[in-house]
Amino acid sequence: MEKIFDQLIDSFMENKVGIAENFLSKDLSKHLISNLKGLFKDNLMLSAGTGNDTLVVHDKMYRSDKIYWLDREHNNIHENSFFDLMDTFISHLNRSCYTGITGYEFHYTLYEKGAFYKKHVDQFRNNEVRQYSMIMYLNEDWIAEDGGELCIHHLDHLQNISPASGKSVFFKSSELEHEVLITNKPRMSITGWLKIN
Ligand code: OGA
Ligand code: NI
């Protein structure tokens, strides 16, 4: 696993956007997809807001994804394996980069056909706890025609990243503007933030 962690960290240092394939094992991805589909069926995936907790605006013109927060207290073994993996990653990151991350938050994310998230940064204006953004994609057999790329707005160019299964993306929450382009089929991921509380 250390090799995959280093791939994510090294590509982050080189390009401001870390990308690692196979961050989530096929097995774990499969279980997380099945959790997500179950949550959707039970109507527990809810429209995401924008802004911080005291000022959440549900603006469907701005983003149209649906989310559900992961929590160790759900006592779901797959959710907990995901958290175990993140704990291992964070201690590796803190040891190798002195990042001082002390917490995290992650949600399941579903973009239904036609959904998107317009250009934004992930750090709230009045709150700097979110240090790094991390997204783990769960989509098998994603092809270019499916759309739904993560588009990163670098200063002098755009970078489009396809949300293909197993891939993890990692970047600084305060820095990079990015958007999710319209998806032509359901697009699933685990999205979250590494925090300094
Ligand atoms: C976000 C976000 C990108 C993606 O949830 O803030 O930018 O690729 N997600 O899902
Ligand atoms: Ni974002």
The pLDDT assigned to 49 comes to 72
**How far is residue 168 from each of residues 1, 49, 66, 133, measured CA to CA in Å?**
13, 23, 19, 10
Q: How far is the CA of 50 from the centre of ligand 2 (A)?
A: 10
CB 191 within 8 A of CB 117: no
Write the burial class of residue 147 (CB in 10 Å: 0-12 exposed, 13-18 middle, 19+ buried): buried
Look at the block and give the residue holding tokens 């200063």. Answer: 155
Q: How far is the CA of 2 from the centre of ligand 1 (A)?
A: 25
Q: How far is the CA of 146 from the centre of ligand 1 (A)?
A: 16
Q: How far is the CA of 150 from the centre of ligand 1 (A)?
A: 7
pTM score above 0.85: yes
Residues with CB under 6 A from ligand 1: 109, 117, 122, 135, 150, 163, 178, 180, 189, 191
Lowest mean pLDDT across 8-22, 104-118, 126-140, 177-191: 126-140
Q: Which atom of ligand 1 is nearest to the CA of 191?
A: 5
Ramachandran quadrant class, 75 (left: phi over 0; alpha: psi -120 to 50; beta: rest): left
CB 151 within 8 A of CB 181: yes
Q: Which atom of ligand 1 is nearest to the CA of 109?
A: 10
Q: What is the percent of the chain with per-residue pLDDT over 90, rounded to a whole number?
A: 84
Residue 156 belongs to a domain with what CATH number?
A: 2.60.120.620
Q: What is the percent of the chain with per-residue pLDDT over 70, rounded to a whole number?
A: 93
The pLDDT assigned to 58 comes to 60
The total of structural domains in the chain comes to 1
The pLDDT assigned to 128 comes to 81
Domain range for 157:
2-195
Q: Which atom of ligand 1 is nearest to the CA of 163?
A: 8
DSSP string, 49-80: -BS-TTS-B--TTTB--EEEE--GGG--HHHH
Condensed to tens digits (0 to 9), the pLDDT of residues 48-63 reads 775 554 455 566 678 8
Q: How far is the CA of 173 from the centre of ligand 2 (A)?
A: 8
The pLDDT assigned to 51 comes to 56
Smallest CA separation from ligand 1 atom 5, residue: 191
